[in-house]
Homo-oligomer: A and B are copies of this chain.
Amino acid sequence: MQKFGGSSVADADSIKRVARRIVDTHEAGHEVVVVVSAMGDTTDDLIDLAEQVSPAPAARELDMLLTAGERISMAVLAMAIHDLGAEARSYTGSQAGMITDSAHGAARIVNVTPGRIRAALDDRAIPIVAGFQGVAHDTKDITTLGRGGTDTTAVALAAALEADVCEIYTDVDGVFTADPRIVPRARRLSSVTYEEMLELAAAGAKVLHLRSVEYARRFNLPIHVRSSFSARQGTWVLSDQAQQDHIAQGTAAQGGTPVEQPIISGTVADTNDAKITVVGVPDRPGEAAAIFTALAADSINIDMIVQNVSAESTGRTDVTFTCPQGSAAKALAALENVRSAIGFTNLLFDDDIAKISLVGAGMRSHPGVSATFFSSLAEAGVNVEMISTSEIRISIVTRAGVAGDAVRALHTAFGLDADGEAVVYAGTGR
């Protein structure tokens, strides 16, 4: 299974290069199934067109429209493979058996029935499958899987076909200990566990979408994130056990020099959240619940929550939470609607924030990580406004302007800096 994002198939030359790589894999004797995104900016262009015609495009029709993008890229990629002497056949999500629910724009995969893909493989043909799309099991309408959908298509199809590995080709060499644009000395990780990758994705790392990692973990499917611009090994995303085997192999390959599992796998800055404070909430049981019930009713994803200690003199408290900037207006409107029912006094809004996260499975067994985390941030002059933690992650909220300083300070403090600078490629995937 090989997945190529939009930047890997941005133009005719990129498509020919990707075709060459696919045919090389095929000629080396592997069965290859390819999942592909729309070319370059195609999806954005189609959304622009829809918005020219309709201020709020009908969801069913927007899905029909957007799926034209993969249709173009997969057909052209199949042509390029034909010209290299191999047989390729393109398939829509529907033809490939990607059966979903009917939640247009954010459909969930309910079944994968890749009969035509298996038949193509039996014919020694290379199936090229449209990512990001499927067909609803009840309405038979075309659906899309939402952001990161092509990764999810690739992983789900790889699982259904019992593939050995799902290779996710992107415009960087793999998963890094930090965004190399912010931390030039970021290092490529040789491997991460599914849990770490989930935390990294939730913390704002863009390289793999959360749902695809969840899917891979459920089916214990190895993911190999690598660059479509080079032949280098990238980053393997594996179960705990498989990662230990991977590390042992690395140790053996280096003549017995131990390659240790790192304590920390990465630091991430995410500046796409906003912070909202509900001021003067009466300090009675159930008031916080009322706030978050109102937000949930409008499908607003809440990330971090902090509640101040109640001031005894007033009997009131402040509740602060973060959510994606894109949902902030909806969140404020939802809260205004319950202002009189809850009786809070004010709403504060702040989108000039950054969430800084440190992720690593080694935190579980290495005490002192928190101490190093907070002291290095303090030394870098980073003020901590909110804190949240999981077993393998610590996140704080601070000012957006110090995000780079914070990440670089943590990267150095935890010994992640590489000797040289990372190589970064331009472009974005979907």
- Measured CB to CB, the residues of A under 8 A from B are 12, 15-16, 46, 49-50, 52-55, 57-58, 60-62, 64-65, 67-69, 71-72, 74-76, 78-80, 82-83, 88-90, 95, 116, 140
Contacts of A15 in B (CB 8 A): 53
Contacts of A46 in B (CB 8 A): 72
Task: Verify B82–A61 contact, CB threshold 8 A.
Answer: yes
Partner of A75, one of B64, B116, B140: B64
Nearest-neighbor residue (CB-CB) of A63 within chain B: B75
Partner of A65, one of B53, B61, B75: B75
Task: Verify B53–A76 contact, CB threshold 8 A.
Answer: yes
Assuming A54-B80, A64-B78, A65-B79, what are 13 further A-B pairs, CB within 8 angstroms? A50-B76, A53-B79, A57-B79, A61-B78, A61-B88, A62-B75, A64-B74, A64-B75, A64-B90, A65-B72, A68-B71, A71-B71, A95-B140
Contacts of A12 in B (CB 8 A): 49, 52-53
> Can you name 8 A-B residue pairings with CB atoms under 8 Å?
A53-B83, A55-B83, A58-B82, A61-B75, A61-B82, A65-B72, A67-B71, A68-B72
A12 to B140, CA, bound (A): 28
A90 to B83, CA, bound (A): 34
Task: Verify A49–B64 contact, CB threshold 8 A.
Answer: no
A262 to B116, CA, bound (A): 57
Contacts of A52 in B (CB 8 A): 12
Contacts of A49 in B (CB 8 A): 12, 72, 76
Question: Nearest chain B CB to A107's CB is how many angstroms away?
Answer: 16
Question: Nearest chain B CB to A6's CB is how many angstroms away?
Answer: 15
A62 to B72, CA, bound (A): 9
Contacts of A82 in B (CB 8 A): 54, 57-58, 61
